Amino acid sequence: MPDQRPLTANLLLDALSEFERVIEALPAPGRGGAIGRLNAGVTTLLHIAEHADRLRSITTGGDVDPWLVEHLDSSATPPAFNDALEAYRRVQAGLSTFLESATAEGLANVPIPKPIEGLPAHLAGATAEYLVARTAAHVFVHTGELAALASLVGAPDLGLPGAMTATRGTDG
């Protein structure tokens, strides 16, 4: 039986997978401090972890990750890259669990009824499906940003967007 997950859920699963692939390939010079006007890898990693966690919290009703809340204060010193990666993996796993069981009807029936802290006010009234699609686009943008950063510090071309196996419905 073919995969019945909505295309938007599959796109976000692929975006999250590609983001992690690029993070894994990012050489050490790109993981720490900023290079020129580009964000440091750890900053982008935290940013995407925050967005993934917010979407997971909105769609599942779960609490936001307390470690992320503590470390997202812009005045704080960025955490160690590996700590941020661990937080990303934790929230990504929770979001992926939701996405893997998502249905088109389920995503269409989860409206965002009012403004939510940290979410632009114009998204009030959007469906979870729209937020999933928007988050996939957002993650792919930052994946490209990190791929450019990786290239600047010596990584080979990572061939984005990759195989996108969830969207294709294949393992390879």
Q: How far apart are CA 3 and CA 72, in angstroms?
A: 36
Find the largest Cα–Cα distance for the chain. 50
Q: Has residue 74 been placed in a domain? A: yes
Q: Has residue 17 been placed in a domain? A: yes
Q: Has residue 73 been placed in a domain? A: yes
Query: Using alpha carbons only, what angle is made at residue 146 by residues 140 and 148, rounded to the nearest 5 degrees?
Result: 105
Q: How far apart are CA 50 and CA 74, in angstroms?
A: 13
| Count of domains forming the chain | 1
Residue 110: per-residue pLDDT: 65
Residue 32 and residue 84 in contact, taking contact as beta carbons nearer than 8 Å: no
Q: Has residue 2 been placed in a domain? A: no
Residue 49 and residue 87 in contact, taking contact as beta carbons nearer than 8 Å: yes
Find the domain containing 46 and state its range.
Answer: 7-154
Q: Has residue 132 been placed in a domain? A: yes
Q: Has residue 138 been placed in a domain? A: yes
Q: Has residue 159 been placed in a domain? A: no
CATH number of the domain at 84, please.
1.20.120.450
**38 phi and psi angles, rounded to 5 deg:** -80, 145
pLDDT in tens, the chain (172 residues): 344 899 999 999 999 999 999 999 999 888 887 788 888 899 999 999 999 998 998 888 889 899 998 888 766 788 999 999 999 999 999 999 999 999 999 898 766 666 666 667 777 778 889 999 999 999 999 999 999 999 998 999 999 998 899 998 866 5
Q: Has residue 170 been placed in a domain? A: no
Q: How far apart are CA 167 and CA 150, in angstroms?
A: 25
pTM score:
0.89
